[in-house]
A and B are shown apart, each in its own frame.
Chain A
Amino acid sequence: AQKVTQAQTEISVVEKEDVTLDCVYETRDTTYYLFWYKQPPSGELVFLIRRNSFDEQNEISGRYSWNFQKSTSSFNFTITASQVVDSAVYFCASEGIIQGAQKLVFGQGTRLTINP
């Protein structure tokens, strides 16, 4: 069975600070995908990124960057120069494509508050 752990329940920083959200996953699948979603106060889950288990290259998209390390089963997300609009709950999720159905398994989420 898959499991995703986001140990940080809440993080609060001041605007323009960098912040890293941690994600640790467990899976017995050899092929799997990892995701990050953002859930603003409106409630809709917004897709941010998908990585497959064969691609450990870090990725950068504007102020967002992701660090995938299979050796530590981690897929951490960093926001550089945070802004108030980044305030939301962020979810890490995994999806196996061999065992089980094509369902996402989510962590409990990290509530990020960016203070002006």
Chain B
Amino acid sequence: DTGVSQDPRHKITKRGQNVTFRCDPISEHNRLYWYRQTLGQGPEFLTYFQNEAQLEKSRLLSDRFSAERPKGSFSTLEIQRTEQGDSAMYLCASSLTVGADTQYFGPGTRLTVL
């Protein structure tokens, strides 16, 4: 069984550009989560999906951020008009819907906004 995968692993972009990240969860995991981790901090929750439904969004997720999971499988996280403050590691996790089941994380996408 393969783990959670994320693409790309690294992204360098200029301020004002749009970027999109992809996450492929563990197969048959119907919950998918996005977190953001800045240097020296723990991950912070951004949003999560159960199947294709986006059930919660953090206040950290400004209007420039949008996440989708159109067919309940992979998910994309798009950041429009990137700012230097968006530089961070973006982590994806997945879990089964069994109470508070364990979340398994992908390797992350490190975003650097110049």
Contacts and interface: CB of A to CB of B under 8 A. Distances in A.
A109 B89 contact: no
B85 interface: no
Interface residues of B, number: 26
Contacts, number: 62
B33 A42 contact: no
Given A47-B102, A108-B41, A108-B42, A103 B107 contact: no
Contacts of B91: 45
A106 B43 contact: yes
Contact of B42 (A42, A43, A102, A106): A106
Given A33-B100, A50-B102, A45 B110 contact: no
A35 interface: yes
A91 B43 CA distance: 9
B106 A104 contact: no
Contact of A103 (B41, B56, B102): B56
Given A50-B102, A101-B55, A102-B31, A43 B108 contact: yes
A37 interface: yes
Interface string A72-116: 000000000000000000010101110011111111110000000
A44 B42 contact: no
Given A95-B100, A97-B100, A101-B55, A45 B48 contact: no
B100 A47 contact: no
Given A43-B108, A101-B56, A109 B48 contact: no
A44 B55 contact: no
A31 B44 CA distance: 21
Nearest to A91: B42
A45 B100 contact: no
Interface in A13-56: 32-33, 35, 37, 42-47, 50, 52
Given A44-B106, A106-B42, 18 more contacts: A32-B100, A37-B105, A42-B107, A43-B89, A43-B107, A43-B108, A44-B108, A50-B102, A95-B100, A97-B100, A101-B48, A101-B56, A104-B45, A104-B93, A108-B40, A108-B42, A109-B40, A109-B41
